[in-house]
Amino acid sequence: MTNDLTGSTALITGSNSGIGRAAALSLARLGAYVVLSGRDAGRGEQVVAAIRGEGGRADFVAADLADEASARQLARQAAELGGGHVDILVNNAGIFPFGPTHEASEADFDRVFAVNVRAPFFLVAELAPEMAKRGHGAIINVTTMVAEFGAPQMALYGSSKAALVLLTKSWAAEYGPSGVRVNAVSPGPTRTDGHRGHGRGSGSAGLRRAVRPAGPAGGDRGRDHLPGQRRGQLRARRGPARGRRPDRGLTRPVGSRGPGVLTCTRNA
């Protein structure tokens, strides 16, 4: 294993902010040439400037990932910018319109699955075969803790990410024997601009309250029914203790400044 990614090209979707931005900064600091993508060119260029300001190499490619053509075109542009290859793909872009199932429209359903499932599928379809031919490569899919259990008002988002979990396993079986590593990271609530205002109530405390898993009858299953959850993780899910800051217990994205760096663990 080596932490030197010099000579590698990394493509990170949804890298204008949050976890994607932090991943881009981290990979650039390890020597990778980073291709960032997103819909907001202005914010993307700000991240590029931050990477270049630290001596790294990066470029931004605008992409909405609304269909197969957009995903495949992004993959081809990234490979061209990277000297003919993409060695690391981070499928981070995602949308999360939380809300009751009965209020979701067909357009909402199509939009969520287009970005959260279809785009990663065709990015992998375009890039993984070339990785396999070269005998190396890494694919990282950013999922969510609510892909692992039922949570109120998260059926649409959670089911799309659960599909990505299964795709991760399938791609690992398909391309792993050729030297391509395929993994998923499943973070819990993370302090980013994107999570603000989601969940019951506002801010991070509301989001944490919203992700309590439901049991068979729709009630809280309780700590005894959460295999793999540690006490500290449960504290972050239940909400802040009295007198603490409302965002205490949330992690920061990898590569962000300050304490609380997120490590890539399931159900963190």
Active site residues: 157
CB 57 within 8 Å of CB 51: yes
Alpha helices, DSSP H only, in 115-211?
Answer: 119-134, 155-175, 203-210
* Sign of the CA dihedral with 91 first, then 93, 99, and 105 last: negative
Exposure letters 105-137 (e unless 16+ CB within 10 A, then b)? eeeeeeebbbbbbbbbbbbbebbbebbbeeeeb
Axis crossing angle, helix 231-238 with helix 203-210, rounded to the nearest 10: 110
Task: Report the phi/psi class of residue 164: left, alpha or beta, with left for phi > 0 and alpha for psi in -120 to 50.
Answer: alpha
CA dihedral 247, 249, 253, 256 (to 10 degrees): 70
